[in-house]
Amino acid sequence: MPVDSRSLGITGFQFYCMSLAAIGSFNFGWNIGSVNIPGDVLQNCVTGREYYGPFPSCIFVGSNTAWGVITGSYALGALIGAVASNPVIDKRGYKFTLSWFALLNVA
């Protein structure tokens, strides 16, 4: 006998899916915000400016606005990556696309 879905309330599976979506969003926000944790060391060169090979120990960023743009560009990069991966996923599939993009991040 069919049951009206409006009378069921929230099922266990719906709660599980909502929890996964919330945890995923929290994780994305945490990863974006975690760039700000070492911000003082990276911006103000509190340990002094030293070079380890070709790489400096800090990046002098003169203002908080520039640091905000740098941090915000990570979210913009995620958006561009999501849009750019769609045609590749349609042609090659998820496994190929995830493997290829992981190799690009390592290289």
Residue 78: what pLDDT? 79
Q: Answer for the pair 44, 38: CB distance below 8 angstroms, yes or no.
A: no
pLDDT confidence band for 66 (50 / 70 / 90): confident
Average pLDDT over residues 42-70: 75
Give the closest residue to 80 by CA, choosing from 62, 104, 59. 104
The fraction of the chain above a pLDDT of 70, given in percent, is: 87
47 band by pLDDT with thresholds 50, 70 and 90? low
Mean pLDDT of the 49-75 span: 77
Closest by Cα among 14, 62, 22 to 42: 62
pLDDT band at 17 (very low <50, low <70, confident <90, very high): confident
Mean local confidence (pLDDT), 18-43? 74
User: How far, in Å, CA of 23 to CA of 29, rounded?
Assistant: 10
Mean pLDDT of 22-37: 73
Element housing 89 (H / E): helix 64-92
Q: Count other Cβ atoms within 10 Å, centred on residue 32.
A: 14
